[in-house]
Amino acid sequence: MTKRFGNLSEDLVVEYLIKQGFSILERNYKKFFGEIDIIAKRNNIIAFIEVKARKKDNNLMYRLVDHRKQHKIGMVARLFISNFAHNYKNITYRFDVALVLGDEGFQNITYIPNAYSLSEN
């Protein structure tokens, strides 16, 4: 997969989220130990979103965010929350996954809210 295809896929997910009423807080929020593709807010929900894009359906897309990746995203999310939580009251945080399948001409999004949760360990 090319960087261009990945960027187009993320752009498509951002458009989808905006149509669903989300505002985009951050894109490619990076820390030295990991990155969150998109951080979005709607009402009292902040979603940390991992975007996975593939050109062919391999029926394993749901496995693309393994425990190691979840842990890294969780560490970055905790840092985001500790830095910005004072700006938000009564917020629910969740981890979503957007699976993008197709090519640069046509892409289909499968959006999974609350795709996983993090243990406190």
Q: What is the pLDDT of residues 18-77, one digit of tens each?
A: 999 999 999 999 998 899 999 999 999 999 999 998 877 665 555 678 889 999 999 999
pLDDT tens digit sequence for 87-109: 777 899 999 999 988 876 667 89
Closest CA to 77 of 24, 22, 118: 118
Q: Rounded to whole angstroms, how far apart are CA atoms 63 and 69? A: 11
Question: Tokens 């940390």 label which residue?
Answer: 48
Tell me, what amino acid is at 13? V
Q: Which residues contact 50 (CB under 8 A, 6 or more apart)?
A: 36, 37, 65, 69, 73, 95, 96, 97, 98, 115
3-116: CATH number: 3.40.1350.10
Q: How far apart are CA 114 and CA 117, in angstroms?
A: 7
